[in-house]
Structure 1
Amino acid sequence: MHVPDGFINAPVSVAAGVAAAAAVAVSLRGARRELDERTAPLAGLVAAFIFAVQMLNFPVAAGTSGHLLGGALAAILVGPYTGVLCVSVVLLMQGILFADGGLTALGVNITVMGVVTVVVAYAVFRGLLKVLPAGRRSVTVAAFTGALLSVPASAAAFTALYAVGGTADVAIGKVLTAMVGVHVLIGLGEAAITVATVGAVIAVRPDLVHGARELTAPLKLRVGGELVDAPAAAPAAAPAAARSTAKVWITGLVTALVLAGFVSFYASASPDGLEKVAADQGIDATVEEHAAKDSPLADYAVKDVTDARLSGGLAGALGVGATVAVGTGIFWVVRRRRTAEPSVAV
């Protein structure tokens, strides 16, 4: 759902950019509370993984494909504030390096694909966990539902922005119906990918999943006929293997490289939901040439490499490397700023 340059006029693009910048600023502060020495490097990996999976367009209807947006996945794995930053890093890398998503529309894309998806998905996720019985099955149900609903919500948000600042004269009702309809189908794929990924991490390291940290309920004791929390025992020193995230990090990075460098060659070539609706409704008549069209990695291909499989694979691998490097650097800085803040005596 990468919005290109030219779809939204300058005033609305600027307003969306201001909103996106404010959301990123708030998320930078919020991420300080979510990140610790274990999760800071994993947040960069989550961004790289989202970048890789977004290259895997899957068919959803005749002549239409979809891809992961990633807001729900990031929010559940590393927290909502850090999740907004993860998706923002991905969109920045895609726009600058791969000419995917307009540069003047970066604020629109961060708002629609990052902020809206994270807010909707995490609100639904947390809301369901409050009413469902504690357990992994409830986490799965909540993650599936949150991810599913986040995608049509994102499509509706784009339509709202287009209703205010669209550059083509189209029937907004038809755009809304088409966008939400096709993105409900894409949402099913988003939900499946989110559940599979969250489930895989929970199976090996549930302590690293932000949204699953409440799976371990405190021990209850009956005192005077009432249930009270048992006193916390002194934590035993965890073995180095349990504390280390190296194995998870390496496995995730290798998976992302394989997906972007090899599996992406077999992704659907059909236009994604926004591209298909834009073509059908005449929105794409106003699209502008991308400022980074001459990038050596534009359109996810390495310039001057004639073999399509090799060119796309190298571009994908380079994208994963750049995203994990930039993302990890940002999250380490955020983490270090938290630890550097002086504690305030109460």
Structure 2
Amino acid sequence: MAGIYIHIPFCKQACYYCDFHFSTSLKYKEELLEALIREIRLQKSYLDDETIETIYFGGGTPSLLTADEINLIIGTITGIHTVAANAEVTIEANPDDLDKAKLQALRQTAINRFSIGIQSFFDDDLQWMNRVHRGAEAEASVKRAQDTGFENITVDLIYGYPLLSDTKWKHNLDKVFELDVPHVSSYSMTVEPQTALAAFIKKKKQAAMDDQQSAEQFILLMDAMKTRGFEHYEISNFCKPGHYSRHNANYWKGVKYLGIGPSAHSFNGETRQWNVANNAKYIQALEKSEIPAETELLTETDRLNEYIMTSLRTMWGLDLKRLDAIAGAAAGQLTKGAQRYFENGWLEQKEEVIYLTATGKLYADHIASQLFF
């Protein structure tokens, strides 16, 4: 099994915190779509004829595509690859794109899962982030999607920023529970270089993020999700039993995937590949039937460290047998290095699998980096 990710690098406007690759101009949208189709065809052999289990439209804002454009991309994929009958086909969407007509049109595509970028239900928070939509629109978009027959929905929420009090954070979570969505992705606000938010903080126009606030709101998040019966299956992801994102879960499980589009990444178990993060250069290369990508051959150490980093983030944990399968005797070395985290209650081991504890999840990146080979 394998997955395909399609990067759609267009947005109506730039969120202040975002550092993903995108353009607010749709001038070259047609040329970009033609280039995507060419790349899908040129990359035919990358996944070694694996059956495609998931297709994910990310961005950017892929909900800016029309249903016909989505059908063209999916049709190209199904014409080249074997796609599983029960494939999960996800599209990221902004609430303001999901009007009744758009949702009805999307019902005529293979899309069967929505990832809706709500972030907050409070207008002042959304304005602070420079989001296009408003809180009432966020709520309405979920209800419209459900009324149109889409049940497999995840919503994105952000916490850990100055405007978000604990009371507002609890309200956001309660609103999600009220909407009865089966999956929630939630992220701490991070300040990435070269973003407007980073510039505002540097110029003292905006307060810096507070790590303590972020940690406390993450704990509130974990507690609320547990109380409502959601599984905490990955650091930033929660779902009702059986509703985890198959596409994203496969990233963390080390399943092969192909990334199509500018800035998209690919992984086939032995190499990692990434496309140029420039729309014009991407289009120009594909017009010459060239794949605008760099490739890295993963060493044994790379594969060990990637498995440590990804597996520890999940409820499935780090399997010591799999670690030894990558490199003999690796499990013993890692267990020895992890001893201090067992002692302070950040890690626990059940049979041959190591897991982060609830407290350990606060320090996931630090723990993984300390266990790297």
Same fold flag (TM > 0.5): no
When the two structures are superposed, what TM-score results if normalisation uses the length of structure 2?
A: 0.24
**Bigger share in helix:** 1
**Bigger share in strand:** 2
When the two structures are superposed, what TM-score results if normalisation uses the length of structure 1?
A: 0.25
